[in-house]
Amino acid sequence: MGNRARSLVAFATVTILAWFVLAACASSAGPGRTYVPPAATPQSSGAPAGGGIANEIDLVETASLQITNPAGQPVTTITVRRGQTYHFKITNTAGFVHNFYIGKVSDLEADNLAKLTGVGDFSSGTKEFDYTFSDTSAPLGFGCMVPGHYQAGMKGTFTVQ
């Protein structure tokens, strides 16, 4: 087999392998996902302590500067109900500082921490807080306000129903 034929075979092999890798990694839902908290379910007396909380939202902040659900899927939109209180559990798996705040998108973009609600800087573990979606006069969002993180994409919006 000549050099040209070997080159074509090598190119075809690399192309096919690249296609398989991309197909395995692809997601039909696109880069962002809407997170809808599970419906409230009554706790049974056998439920573990702290488990089964109605309106609980679990999020993970990662080393790749993403906010994901516990399964590792990026979360860019969270659907909530007006007037409902939600219990947020924010887990930092990055090994460096993250935080998590909720507020008007304009306050998040202006880094106006005084008008935001959430958890301050922490480098590991899980932090929890409650938030009631009562003021929906302006678009609400969430994000990590560590310098550079929000701008890098650690942010999202709420769809209030």
CATH classification of 31-40+54-160, choosing from 3.40.50.300, 1.10.1200.10, 3.40.50.10140, 2.60.40.420?
2.60.40.420
Instruction: Say whether 152 sits in a helix, a strand or coil.
Output: coil
List per-residue pLDDT tens for the chain, 161 residues long. Answer: 666 655 545 544 444 444 333 333 333 334 445 555 554 332 222 222 334 456 999 999 999 999 999 999 999 999 999 999 999 999 999 999 999 999 999 999 999 999 999 999 999 999 999 999 997 788 999 999 999 999 999 999 999 99
- Selection from 109, 97, 86 nearest residue 146 by Cα: 97
